[in-house]
Amino acid sequence: MNGRQRTLCLSGSNDNKHRCLPGIFGFVYMNKSNNVEIEILNLNKSFRDNHILKNLNLKIPSGKTTVIMGGSGAGKTVLLKHIMGLLKPDSGKILIKGEDITAKTERELDKLRSSFAMVFQFAALLNSLTVGQNVGLGLKERGELTQKEINKIVDEKLRLVGLDGKQHVMPGELSGGMKKRVGVARALAMNPEVILYDEPTAGLDPFMAGNVDELILDLKNRLKMTSIVVTHDMNSAFYVGDRICMLHEGRVIEEGTPEEIQNSTNHITRQFITRHSVQNTARVSDSGSGGK
Ligand SMILES: Nc1ncnc2c1ncn2[C@@H]1O[C@H](COP(=O)(O)OP(=O)(O)O)[C@@H](O)[C@H]1O
Ligand SMILES: [Mg+2]
């Protein structure tokens, strides 16, 4: 079902000779915890009279990748922002390790946010800073480490996403796929327990998108982090997801394993899969440019 080329290009280029180098990740990576389960109970959110999240219920298991798929405007990003404590719901609970974060103060939320990292839809890099400075920015702002210590972490995280040696490059010199990976490295620099990806393959050609999917999968396998991937890219959803849930008009209408979702009889899910698979096929046939 998945025609996309699945080649992990660890060098950060499309040069196949660098692919799948054994031991490239052969350094010790300490993750704080692999045990963050998230439970969302009866979540409601409106913006004025626009009811976006409607009694939404969802369980996100720890150490696995949960894909949230749904059409544009379905409320996916709004949901991610709630999980990160960036938006307050009108009602409902978000339990993280059993604690309801909707009841927390801003100060308590700050602590929580430090264990979450979001990879934004558009890499959102600062163009006036080097790749290394972008990756280390959060650590620098935290003010706990020396520049030397920060540089070491930056080097490690760039190696982890296959961009070793790109520390001094400016973002403007990178392809779209490489920028996304810098965004991932920046998220990892904060040593998060949970990583959230918002449309990580959007705007990438199939080759670059495949690389990003490989990276997401590889990081999950190595770091055993709880990962949440928001996407409407069906190739991506079926490839990286351990669980997939379908968000439609502010509700989770279906959830299951990739196989269960692929064989879904729910007509909204079926329609969504068909429509977005067609789009992917079209994308494959007219691609050829580098990732933008
Ligand atoms: N801060 C906001 N103020 C008002 N409306 C918003 C805000 N954020 C999101 N929305 C609306 O909520 C809906 C869902 O948005 P979003 O979660 O970004 O969709 P998507 O599923 O495409 O990520 C959209 O109609 C959007 O216009
Ligand atoms: Mg969105």
Task: Enumerate the β-bridge partners of residue 19.
Answer: none
Find the length of the chain.
Answer: 292
Which of 45, 49, 78, 87 most suits a substitution to test ligand 1, by most atoms within 8 Å of the C-beta?
A: 78
Are 170 and 127 a contacting pair, CB within 8 Å?
Answer: yes
The pLDDT value given to residue 285: 36
Half-sphere exposure at residue 30, Cβ-oriented, CA atoms within 13 angstroms = 2
Distances in Å between the Cα of 121 and the Cα atoms of 21, 25, 83, 189, 231 are 28, 26, 16, 18, 10
The candidate with the shortest Cα–Cα distance to 251, out of 48, 36, 39, 51, is 51
Q: Please name every residue paired with 40 in a beta bridge, in sequence order, or none if there are none.
A: 58, 94
Ligand 1 pocket residue status of 75, Cβ below 6 Å: yes
Which amino acid makes up residue 169?
V
Q: Cα of 53 to ligand 1 centre, how many Å?
A: 10
* Interval 234-243 mean pLDDT: 94
CB contact burial 188-210 (16+ within 10 A = b; e otherwise): bbbbbbbbbbbbbbbbbbbbbbb
Mutate to test the pocket of ligand 1, among 44, 45, 46, 47 (most ligand atoms within 8 A of CB): 47
Nearest CA owner, ligand 1 atom 20: 73
Element (H, E) at 68: strand 65-69
Q: Average pLDDT for residues 270-282, to the nearest whole number?
A: 74
What is the Å distance from ligand 1's center to 198 Cα? 13
pLDDT in tens, 35-79: 789 999 999 999 999 999 999 999 999 999 999 999 889 999 999
CB of 72 shorter than 6 A to ligand 1 = yes
Contact 87, 45 (CB under 8 A): yes
Over range 111-116, report the average pLDDT. Answer: 83
Residue the block writes with tokens 């409106």: 46
The region of weakest confidence among 11-25, 129-143, 245-259, 274-288 is 11-25
Is residue 195 within 8 A of residue 34, CB to CB? The reply is: no
Inter-residue contact 248 to 266 (CB < 8 Å): no
pLDDT of amino acid 3: 41
Instruction: Indicate whether residue 208 lines ligand 1 (CB < 6 A).
Output: no
pTM: 0.82
What pLDDT, on the 0 to 100 scale, is given for residue 123? 67
| Residue 100 zone, left/alpha/beta (φ > 0; ψ -120 to 50; rest) | beta
User: Which atom belonging to ligand 1 lies closest to the Cα atom of 81?
Assistant: 17
Mean pLDDT of 143-168: 95
Q: How confident is the model at residue 280 (pLDDT cuts 50, 70, 90)?
A: low
